[in-house]
């Protein structure tokens, strides 16, 4: 069933006379998208597997008359995503067969919108309960993490996907313990919590966003130093955390764990490069080693190490 939202905007015409000369003002036509359609194709769905092949991936297609762009709310506590063409794929990660109310918002000329929703039932077989428990301490618990500041290699840098395949370790740069130009970030604290249903949330307790040079240059701020919410407003607040299969070449070639941590609402663990998902290289009850690409330069891969022991004690 289609649901349309119409916004009626009343425009007044003001005649202004300056030095005996009339200025004419014109307003463009405001057009709401109509005939909005939303369809879903669950990957791997067939008669035997009506909810998909376990990947959790669904392909969505939207169309309408008089639309400029589309936004998707997938109903799974992940971020709203813009899809200018109306076509997008999304991976649902909650295990088992789950129902999601997916909403698409079509924007027309002048910003007026129309929306419609459908329900999809999707099967996801991906699970990494051990990683969830390592991060949070188990159901009903919370755990605080810190930079592994007192360990060499708490930050590393290497190539992302070079032709020679040497992209699974920080061959370009490996930090010292208490690296001199990163001291401002080592007070950061991060809390992962798990409720009784296995849902994970994340909160950074300190407003510390270390911004390396390449990314800092892309957003026009000082590089290789720490910033706060003035530069990274998504620092604050509790974020939802989801887990998905890692499918990068580095994960495969490096034989990493195969799990990616995804933070909602722009969450990140102090290392600010415009990326809100990290691949787990290794995780234990007390250590976390992850990898991510730099959004300003996808040729760069960053490596970050965290631990549960407070290095400042």
* pLDDT tens readout for residues 13-57: 233 333 344 444 444 678 899 999 999 999 999 999 999 999 999
**Element at 130 (helix H, strand E):** helix 129-136
Place of tokens 């296995």: 198
Confidence of residue 6 (pLDDT cuts 50, 70, 90): very low
Residue 166 CB neighbour total at 10 angstroms: 11
Residue 231 pLDDT greater than 90, yes or no: yes
Domains and CATH numbers, the chain: 16-121 (2.60.40.10), 129-307 (no CATH)
User: What pLDDT is stored for residue 14 in this prediction?
Assistant: 30
Looking at per-residue pLDDT, the higher value among 37 and 9 belongs to 37
User: Per mean pLDDT, which range of 57-61, 166-170, 171-175, 239-243 is the poorest?
Assistant: 166-170
User: In DSSP terms, which residues pair with 73 in a beta bridge?
Assistant: 103
Residue 229 pLDDT greater than 60, yes or no: yes
Residue 283 pLDDT greater than 90, yes or no: yes
Two tokens at 230?
A: 């003035």
User: What pLDDT is stored for residue 82 in this prediction?
Assistant: 95
Question: Residues 139-146: what's their mean pLDDT?
Answer: 98
Question: For the chain, what is the radius of gyration of the CA atoms?
Answer: 23
pLDDT in tens, 85-113: 999 999 998 889 999 999 999 999 888 99
> For a pLDDT cut of 70, what percent of the chain falls above it?
91
Residue 252 φ/ψ, nearest 5 degrees: -70, -50
Residue 68 pLDDT greater than 80, yes or no: yes
Residue 217 φ/ψ, nearest 5 degrees: -60, -35
Residue 61 pLDDT greater than 80, yes or no: yes
Q: How far apart are CA 70 and CA 77, in angstroms?
A: 18
Nearest Cα neighbor of 240 from 289, 193, 199, 201 is 201
User: Per mean pLDDT, which range of 48-52, 72-76, 166-170 is the poorest?
Assistant: 166-170
Numbers of helices and strands, H then E, in the chain: 3, 21
Predicted model pTM: 0.80
Confidence of residue 161 (pLDDT cuts 50, 70, 90): confident
Q: How many CA atoms lie within 13 A of 63 on its CB side?
A: 3
User: What pLDDT is stored for residue 165 in this prediction?
Assistant: 75
User: In DSSP terms, which residues pair with 304 in a beta bridge?
Assistant: 155, 290
Question: Residues 196-213: what's their mean pLDDT?
Answer: 96
Residue 111 CB neighbour total at 10 angstroms: 10
User: What pLDDT is stored for residue 275 in this prediction?
Assistant: 96
* Mean pLDDT value across the chain: 90
In terms of Cβ atoms closer than 10 Å to its own Cβ (0-12, 13-18, 19+), residue 136 is buried
Beta carbons within 8 Å of 55's beta carbon, 6+ residues apart: 43, 44, 91, 124, 125, 126, 245
């Amino acid at each position: 069933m289609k649901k349309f939202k119409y916004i009626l905007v009343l425009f007044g015409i003001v005649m202004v006379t300056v030095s005996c000369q009339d200025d004419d003002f014109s307003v463009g036509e405001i057009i709401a998208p109509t005939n909005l359609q939303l369809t879903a194709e669950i990957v791997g769905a067939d008669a035997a597997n009506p909810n998909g092949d376990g990947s959790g991936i669904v392909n969505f297609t939207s169309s309408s008359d008089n639309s400029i762009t589309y936004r998707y709310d997938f109903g799974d506590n992940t971020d709203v995503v813009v899809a200018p063409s109306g076509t997008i794929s999304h991976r649902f990660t909650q295990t088992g067969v789950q129902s999601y109310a997916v909403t698409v918002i079509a924007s027309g000329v002048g910003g007026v919108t129309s929306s419609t929703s459908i329900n999809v039932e999707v099967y996801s077989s991906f699970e990494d309960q051990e990683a969830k428990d390592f991060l949070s301490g188990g159901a009903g618990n919370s755990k605080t993490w810190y930079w592994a500041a007192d360990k060499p290699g708490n930050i590393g840098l290497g190539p992302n996907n070079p032709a020679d395949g040497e992209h699974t370790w920080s061959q370009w740069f490996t930090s010292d313990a208490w690296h001199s130009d990163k001291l401002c970030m080592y007070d950061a604290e991060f809390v992962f919590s798990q409720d009784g249903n296995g849902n994970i949330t994340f909160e950074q307790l300190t407003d510390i966003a270390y911004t390396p040079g390449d990314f800092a240059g892309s957003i026009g701020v000082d590089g290789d130093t720490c910033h706060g919410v003035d530069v990274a407003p998504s620092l604050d607040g509790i974020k939802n955390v989801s887990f998905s299969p890692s499918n990068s070449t580095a994960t495969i070639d490096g034989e990493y764990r195969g799990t990616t941590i995804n933070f909602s609402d722009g969450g990140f663990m102090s290392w600010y490069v415009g990326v809100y998902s990290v691949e787990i290289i290794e995780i234990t009850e007390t250590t976390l080693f992850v990898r991510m690409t730099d959004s300003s330069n996808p040729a760069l891969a960053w490596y970050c190490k965290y631990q549960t022991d407070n290095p400042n004690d």
